[in-house]
């Protein structure tokens, strides 16, 4: 039976993540928002601290690195586990309470690391340990439908030759490797899509440009081309076999892993906005009373209570998706529900907090306007709001992608 209270055994980890966010990320948040594309050097020390915590054997981590479903049978099949997935989303939410863009800039905590955790075999997991991996999926002209990607990987002896272009690659310039999604055979459609670990110094890989963005400006977002880029066959993640029966399932396992993490980012950013807005409202004489119905309070207090209720619902969906992964239950539906709800709530909450705080919310004197800019991307990447709703509808109705487009 799922219990959506924060597990006691993870309380220390979550508190540590909050302290790091408050004392290390929040103080430099505005600095690196203004200095777009400048690498936050302070993160090197923070990454070293997180590595130290991991070496002590603490559960989970405080970054955005992926977590892996344990495929080993449990000695007690009826046992309920609160494992690495739940620890990761809760700690990521705390770190994003500090700053989402800085969390996305953490060394060795890239979204590509989540892809590795999802589909790499045991030998690859060991070999790639310590790498900082970006994830390259999106291409010009294909929108949100990753199944239509055109980047190709052609087998040539003991190597694959990759050709194509990827855009909006988070940490695409700073990371030391890139997880590239490519098709082995366009005619076989989704089933032929595989992911490859490509090192940044590999000939044929070129970072073409860095994007200037509305939010998460401390995080570098790159366009990358692959021209005759040769990759050892052993760097194809997981199995090289094309299974037309499983279709896109192997690739989608990555999203089942990363979507709860992105939901956690939205939860953390929205929580930061709510906390600051409550303080600013109280300073202005607006008291939020949790013992009285919303309709018996001021309009500002009633709106704040509604925002908190929406936030709570999004958080619980996020925790459910992560808990299901920890307990080896299929969570594709729940991962998309969490991402859809948290993405929308994140934008609604942060923009509403700007509105509630008026000129203080709109000015750079507070971080509310920054959080409203940062949160929008969390409703877009890893699958837009519309794509998530489409996936949820297919799952609930039992329809395929060809039957419901």
Q: Which residues are catalytic?
A: 382
Q: How far apart are CA 234 and CA 242, in angstroms?
A: 16
Beta strand ranges found along 67-158 (DSSP E):
133-136, 152-156
The two structure tokens encoding residue 94? 């705390």
Residues 6+ apart with CB under 8 A from 365: none
Q: How far apart are CA 296 and CA 146, in angstroms?
A: 48
Phi, psi for residue 74 in degrees, rounded to 5:
-80, 140
Contact 265, 100 (CB under 8 A): yes
> Which residue is it, tokens 């070129």?
206
- DSSP three-state, residue 264: helix
The two structure tokens encoding residue 107? 């060394």
The separation between the first and the last C-alpha atoms of the chain, rounded to the nearest angstrom, is 35
Count of Cβ atoms closer than 10 Å to residue 209 Cβ? 12
From the list 329, 310, 311, 308, the residue with the least C-alpha distance to 320 is: 329
């Amino acid at each position: 039976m799922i219990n959506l209270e924060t597990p006691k055994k993870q309380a220390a980890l979550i508190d540590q993540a909050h302290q790091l966010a408050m004392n290390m990320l929040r103080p430099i948040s505005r600095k690196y928002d203004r200095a777009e594309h400048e690498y936050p050097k302070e993160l090197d020390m923070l990454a070293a601290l997180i590595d130290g915590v991991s070496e002590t054997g603490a559960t989970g981590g405080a970054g955005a690195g992926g977590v892996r479903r344990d495929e080993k049978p449990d000695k007690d099949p009826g046992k309920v586990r609160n494992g690495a997935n739940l620890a990761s989303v809760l700690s990521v939410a705390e770190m994003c309470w500090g700053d989402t863009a800085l969390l996305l800039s953490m060394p060795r905590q890239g979204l590509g690391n989540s892809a590795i955790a999802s589909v790499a075999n045991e030998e690859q997991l060991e070999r790639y340990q310590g790498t900082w991996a970006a994830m390259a999926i999106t291409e010009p002209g294909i929108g949100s439908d990753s199944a239509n990607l055109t980047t190709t990987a052609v087998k040539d002896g003991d190597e694959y030759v990759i050709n194509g272009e990827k855009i909006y690659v988070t940490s695409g310039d700073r990371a030391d490797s890139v997880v590239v999604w490519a098709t082995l055979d366009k005619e076989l459609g989704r089933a032929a899509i595989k992911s490859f670990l490509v090192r940044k110094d590999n000939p044929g890989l070129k970072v073409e440009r860095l994007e200037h963005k509305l939010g998460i400006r401390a995080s570098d977002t790159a366009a990358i081309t692959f021209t005759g880029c040769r990759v050892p066959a052993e760097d194809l993640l997981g199995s090289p076999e094309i299974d037309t029966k499983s279709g896109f399932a192997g690739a989608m396992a990555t999203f089942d892993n990363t979507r709860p993490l992105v939901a956690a980012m939205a939860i953390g950013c929205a929580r930061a906005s709510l906390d600051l807005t409550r303080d600013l409202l109280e300073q202005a004489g607006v008291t939020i009373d949790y013992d009285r119905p919303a309709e018996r309070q001021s309009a500002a207090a009633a709106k704040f209570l509604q925002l908190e209720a929406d936030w709570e619902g999004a958080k619980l969906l996020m925790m459910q998706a992560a808990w299901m992964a920890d307990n080896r239950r299929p969570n594709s539906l729940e991962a998309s529900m969490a991402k859809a709800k948290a993405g929308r709530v994140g934008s609604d909450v942060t923009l509403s907090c700007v509105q509630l705080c008026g000129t203080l919310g709109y000015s750079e004197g507070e971080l509310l306007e920054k959080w409203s800019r940062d949160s929008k991307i969390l409703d877009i990447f890893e699958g837009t709001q519309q794509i998530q709703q489409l996936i949820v509808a297919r799952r609930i109705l039992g329809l395929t992608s060809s039957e419901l487009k």
